[in-house]
Structure 1
Amino acid sequence: MTAPTRVHAFTDDVLGDHDAVELARLVRTKELSAAEVEAAAVARLRQVAPGLHAMAYEAYDSPRRADADTGLLHGVPTLVKDNTDVRGMPTNHGSEAIRALPAKRDGRYAAQFLSTGMTVLGKSRMPEFGFNASTEFRSGPPTPNPWNTEHSVGASSGGSAALVAAGAVPIAHANDGGGSIRIPAAAAGLVGLKPSRGRHIDGESARTLPINIITEGVVTRTVRDTALFHAALERHWRNPALPPLGLVEGPARRRLRVAMITESVTDAVVDTPTKAALERTATLLESQGHTVEPVPVPVDARFGDDFLRYWGLLAFLAGNLGRLTMDQSLDTDRLDGLTDGLRRGFTSGGWRRTPAALLRLRRAAAAYATVFDHHDVVLCPVVAGVAPPLGHLSPNVPFDDLVDRLLRHVAFTPLQNVSGAPAISLPMALSDEGLPIGVQLSAAYGDERTLLELAYALEEQSPWPRIQQ
């Protein structure tokens, strides 16, 4: 059997193996210039481009720089996902059905993102409207996993995850409406925090949803990069309805009650490597003095079907109102098979069951919140198995087969989107094939601090796998 093909750009240039925190320090102390860092990132992005196909738009000659140099991550190169407006760059939402012109202004969330001081070098690829769990397309080349290019890098923030894992940039924008930060983070061996609902400024699409399931964030290679990024955002705007997060700088000493969930919300079977990674994480947490005990899934057995119906509503809105809400160029004849199938299912009768599904989803959110009456943290898989081969979740797979595969794979993450609770994916293991395996920790609404403290402790005790090793 041939060895898996890995793609990365780590070398002895000025980026080296530095994370975003270190690069920001080097720029701030003038040991490196922002221009040097930017040029090195562009060179790396160009190097990995033929193998990863992860860029939706390249702005190397006209990057979007922060208006001031006071951000905590000033001079750090980054990317923004292709569903968020950045002035001077088109926003195509990962869809071949849209041919957008460059945005005339920054989106609501992009303004907060830019306040960190980072330099945006372009847009990262995503599947159409973020509906799929693999960064694959109707006709264009997929974005593969840099750890093994025959496998998926997850989605919907797959382009960002691929380029951070490959070392092209240390940090990149991601957002999460059903696992879209955590799933690619797990597939690519990264840290991926989905914040609490309302922790940061909502993007334009999130503000109109019946249940706001979308939150914004980043994927990174270190916990401290994620922690500093979220602290930096609070300097621009902080939600007064949530406890301040501030800068979390390391583990805490307190001992926690951890609930471990091994059963999925979709009756999916968790594969053996993922079970082993979960059990190993539980053992590490116990060795730190935490108490871990199994608990059942706290939601109705219909949760998976209800979330799928909600997904159908979102596909209907994207297809039928997308010319108003996204871009006038939207051509519904060019929608991919997943979007079109979800949309057709909604219009052919799914809409009748949607009000009841929304009611049950709201009840599921309340039921999930009760877990934290007796526990501080929930431990579970991110997805039911290691990253699948490319093609397994392609939008060209017959619709019914694809939906069944998605429900069997995306079996844990949607619950935190519906509840609004924070959750983090951590790279806790490698499979025998050399693919990263993520494990998920979630906490009560507004308690990202506990998740970051635990993440620091696990990173210290069991350092993350490195793609260049």
Structure 2
Amino acid sequence: MSVHAYTDDALGHLDAVGTVAALAAGEVSAREVVQAAITRTEAVDAELGAVAWRAWERARAEAAAPRGGFFSGVPTYLKDNVDVEGMPTLHGTDAFVGRPARRDGDLTRMYLATGLVALGKTRLSELGFSAAAEHPRLGPVRNPWDPARTAGASSAGSAALVAAGAVPIAHANDGGGSIRIPAAVNGLVGLKPTRGRLAQDVLLRRMPVRIISDGVLTRSVRDTAAFLREAEKVYRDLSLPPMGDITRPGRQRLRIGVTTTGAGRAATPEVAEQTLRTAALLEELGHHVEEVAAPAPASFADDFLLYWASLAAASLVGGRSQHGRTFDRTRLDELTHGLGEHVRRHLVRLPGAVARLRRTAGVSARFHERHDVLLTPTLATPTPLVGHLAPGLGYDTVIERLQEWVAFTPWQNATGDPAVSLPLATDADGLPLGMMLSAGHGREALLLELALELEQARPFTHLGRSEGV
């Protein structure tokens, strides 16, 4: 049975843009919508386990005199791996004692400058390394569509709260699919922007391959488009084409490639069938669609895993310098330790893997000379049950299951290209299946125009609304 908080209060079924309109019209106040979001969170979080840190009194105080910006007064949460002044940054683990951040991080400053009111922080998988937030001591983050299923990761908490109706928009970030994966399993819109599109914290800017991008999880395409528009007013990367105001579908008919094979793994027959149905819808809309081979080379899955594992190794070695004297590496889960061991065994291969990952941008650019957009499923299988990816199962089991499930999303993290997951399909149990569209460097506007067209042609289903609430 699903879990949601939709009711006849100040938020109703409004998305973020709808909430802005209601605030501007005087139909509701910032105090009312913030309190509604707090009440809704209280109603669902005991079952979902999505909140890492509550800052409700602070949010109530801010709602009394909200800062300016397009989203002024709209409630939100930030993922618990970015610094927010006065709140600890716990990174999804209990391996250290969190200390309140002295100042907002670069991403947080940009995010909140749009006017959003932070109610607190959301849970993620430990240090963001798993595609399911199932901590051995903190417990899992559950999917509001079916609490027996995972909410994905690492932005699981944000996705669960948006899907359950607690807030209309929440922060997420994506190093291997962690905006798009939870969007797919929770029936949301999740766009990973082009590398550099949004402000980024300094540690992420220094990565050898900058695989991580920040963004938002929303229930409508227009919310994601509005956020990127407003964020650009605060921070602009001049090397990228401007986002502008995307409010309607594009008129251009596109060359779209489709594949149901990712990084060495094929989608299940059910997921492949739904992907081809989405391809047929695109053809009905007048786009030119053809089946293509996946652009990722044969070495990609192993290279990405090794680089991913190197980030875990860095956390194991540098945890105390980053998180303080209370850091205890023995409390990190088996997946984190297993990734560290993986890079130790294959360290000699790491420089070559990094070099090949850096070259993927050129591979992708050549692909997009022939195809404007690539359509794939977001994930290769339907949403697994809680426990399927539990770290305690052991590294070999979990990493095999992760690679089987997450076969499509890491490609755009390596290339730096934008990609969006849309809730365009469901599985045999009626649970969401995300379909992913990706485009060339800097072409978020193209993706959003296509996403608006698809949303109009096949309106998204949301919890509560589908149940007559």
TM-score normalised by length of structure 1: 0.96
State the secondary structure of the residue aligned to 2:445. helix
8 Å CA contact 2:30–2:66 kept in 1: the answer is no
Residue 304 of structure 1 pairs with residue 305 of structure 2: no
Whole-angstrom distance in 1 between the partners of 2:132 and 2:14: 28
Whole-angstrom distance in 2 between the partners of 1:406 and 1:400: 10
Whole-angstrom distance in 1 between the partners of 2:393 and 2:90: 23
Residue 283 of structure 1 pairs with residue 273 of structure 2: no
Whole-angstrom distance in 2 between the partners of 1:106 and 1:131: 23
Residue 10 of structure 1 pairs with residue 6 of structure 2: yes
| Equivalent in the alignment of 2:343 | 346
Matches within 5 A, 1:365-384: 365-384=361-380
| Equivalent in the alignment of 2:23 | 27
8 Å CA contact 2:19–2:74 kept in 1: the answer is yes
Tell me how far 1:51 sits from its aligned partner: 1.0
Residue 397 of structure 1 pairs with residue 390 of structure 2: no
Tell me how far 1:28 sits from its aligned partner: 2.4
Letter in 1 for 2:360: A
Letter in 2 for 1:15: L
8 Å CA contact 2:262–2:296 kept in 1: the answer is no
Per-residue Cα deviation, 1:140-163 (whole angstroms, up to 9, x for no partner): 221111101111111110000000
Residues 91 and 327 of structure 1: CA distance in aligned 2, closer, same or farther (over 3 Å): farther
Letter in 2 for 1:412: F
| Equivalent in the alignment of 2:168 | 170
Tell me how far 1:433 sits from its aligned partner: 1.1
| Equivalent in the alignment of 1:50 | 46
Whole-angstrom distance in 2 between the partners of 1:300 and 1:328: 42
Give unpaired runs (5+ residues) of structure 2. Answer: none
State the secondary structure of the residue aligned to 1:205. helix
Whole-angstrom distance in 2 between the partners of 1:90 and 1:69: 22
Residue 141 of structure 1 pairs with residue 139 of structure 2: yes
Tell me how far 1:68 sits from its aligned partner: 6.2
Residues 343 and 259 of structure 1: CA distance in aligned 2, closer, same or farther (over 3 Å): same
| Equivalent in the alignment of 2:216 | 218
| Equivalent in the alignment of 1:80 | 78
Whole-angstrom distance in 2 between the partners of 1:305 and 1:381: 21
Per-residue Cα deviation, 1:274-333 (whole angstroms, up to 9, x for no partner): 112211111111111100011112232111111110011100111111222344432101
Residue 362 of structure 1 pairs with residue 355 of structure 2: no
8 Å CA contact 2:187–2:432 kept in 1: the answer is yes
Residue range with higher mean Cα deviation, 125-134 or 25-34: 25-34
Moved over 4 A (4+): 64-68
8 Å CA contact 1:429–1:465 kept in 2: the answer is no
| Equivalent in the alignment of 2:201 | 203
Report the count of equivalent residues: 463
Tell me how far 1:367 sits from its aligned partner: 1.1
State the secondary structure of the residue aligned to 1:219. strand
Letter in 2 for 1:102: P
Matches within 5 A, 1:306-455: 306-347=303-344, 349-455=345-451
Whole-angstrom distance in 2 between the partners of 1:434 and 1:101: 42
Residues 326 and 249 of structure 1: CA distance in aligned 2, closer, same or farther (over 3 Å): farther
| Equivalent in the alignment of 1:254 | 252
Letter in 1 for 2:146: N
8 Å CA contact 1:124–1:159 kept in 2: the answer is yes
Residues 293 and 328 of structure 1: CA distance in aligned 2, closer, same or farther (over 3 Å): farther
Per-residue Cα deviation, 1:382-434 (whole angstroms, up to 9, x for no partner): 11011111111111111111111111111000000000000000001111212
Identity %: 47
Whole-angstrom distance in 2 between the partners of 1:96 and 1:365: 36
Letter in 1 for 2:425: A
Residue range with higher mean Cα deviation, 222-231 or 25-34: 25-34
Per-residue Cα deviation, 1:313-360 (whole angstroms, up to 9, x for no partner): 10011111122234443210100111111112223x322110011112
Letter in 1 for 2:328: D
Residues 74 and 353 of structure 1: CA distance in aligned 2, closer, same or farther (over 3 Å): same
TM-score normalised by length of structure 2: 0.96
8 Å CA contact 2:73–2:117 kept in 1: the answer is yes
